[in-house]
Structure 1
Amino acid sequence: MSADTASNHSRQNAFDPALNPELFSGVRSRRMFAFLIDLIVIALLTFGAGILVFVLGVFTLGLGFLLYAILPTAVALIYVAMTLGGPSASTLGMRAMGLEMRLWYGAKPYPLLAAVHAILFWFSVSFLTPLVLLVSLFSDRKRLLHDLILGTVVINSAYHREFSARPA
């Protein structure tokens, strides 16, 4: 088997639920709790940023107050891009729940993909709720609609470290 063929074979089977079901065990429920944790973290960050915008608004004689219109969205996008698209490939809520995100072939997501992932999540939940959540019931990797579109998968972190440490 050539190196290219071996590389393509490992990419195709990076996260196979039939070969490694422990990578996906409990992901759906822990993902919901991670979302709630992230919601609290984003609210706290937005509150802190709101104080800074208030000070900026005073110094700019009211012009800085216009930032309040985009503050929650900007804080959430920056949070997701920097955490989910960062080296740990997980938000703080996902880390607390022992989850991480990977691309379908095993690579970590990058900040732009993480931000697009969040935007697609918000749009899909806004327009398709609760149908977007039903997709995970029929997906072998417990992926949501925006995961399928972007080619991402959420897995258990501990099992992934064990899985990737196995000799080939």
Structure 2
Amino acid sequence: MSTTPLSPAQPIQREAFDPLADPRLYEGVLSRRVLAFCVDFGVVFTLTAIASVVIFFLGVVTLGLAWLLYGGVFPAMAILYSGATLGGDKAATWGMRLTGLTARMTDGAKPGFLIAAAHVVFLYVSFTLLTPFVLLVGLFTRRKQLLHDLVLSTVLVDRGRLEGRSY
């Protein structure tokens, strides 16, 4: 039996997070994402403030050379924070954990560090270019995905429903 693109050898696998199979995974996701973003932005801002103090003292010791790091301290903290938390075992930032969300790839896998880092970079780029209008994309997608989620094939779902808890 030969395999062609029209008749593959293995059956076509459905995506793990089909909104038609379990639409409750996406209930209230957009509003909780906004709250999670605010919490995460506060955490990244705090980490940036701490890193800025460290850079200040390093700048004094290095006669001002370390002060060149100020321009990249916020993006670096955002990437490290998101990569460590979103790319970690729980697949959620602290804001997402607080609001009961978790991230998955559309095939069901947890995102790794690189996907999590790209996720935050694309998030801030889309917010910079499209301002809050980026949230409108989530109103028209089946899985309540935003633009950067579509690019990276990620979804944010209700952690409780995913783990089988019913409310």
TM-score over 0.5 (shorter chain): yes
- 1:120 Cα deviation after fit: 1.1
Q: Which runs of 5+ in 1 are unaligned?
A: 164-168
Q: In the alignment, residue 106 of structure 1 is paired with which amino acid?
A: G
TM-score, with structure 1 as normaliser = 0.88
1:143 and 1:158 map into 2 onto residues whose CA distance is: 19
What is the identity percentage for the equivalent residue pairs of Structure 1 and Structure 2?
46
- 1:126 Cα deviation after fit: 1.4
Partner of 1:134: 136
1:132 and 1:71 map into 2 onto residues whose CA distance is: 25
2:61 and 2:48 map into 1 onto residues whose CA distance is: 20
Cα deviation per residue 1:72-126 (whole Å; 9 max; x = unaligned)?
Answer: 1111111111111111111000000010110001000011111111111111121
Partner of 2:31: 29
Partner of 1:88: 90
Q: 1:70-81 counterparts in 2 under 5 A?
A: 70-81=72-83
Q: In the alignment, residue 163 of structure 2 is paired with which amino acid?
A: R
1:103 and 1:44 map into 2 onto residues whose CA distance is: 29
What secondary structure, in the 3-state scheme, does the structure 1 residue paired with 2:142 have? coil
2:49 and 2:28 map into 1 onto residues whose CA distance is: 32
TM-score, with structure 2 as normaliser = 0.88
- After superposition, the CA RMSD in angstroms is 1.4
Cα deviation per residue 1:46-82 (whole Å; 9 max; x = unaligned)?
Answer: 1111111111111112111111111111111111111
Partner of 1:156: 158
What secondary structure, in the 3-state scheme, does the structure 2 residue paired with 1:141 have? coil
1:89 and 1:116 map into 2 onto residues whose CA distance is: 14
1:47 and 1:126 map into 2 onto residues whose CA distance is: 21
Q: Return structure 1 stretches of 4+ with deviation > 4 angstroms.
A: none
Q: Which runs of 5+ in 2 are unaligned?
A: 1-9
- 1:130 Cα deviation after fit: 3.9
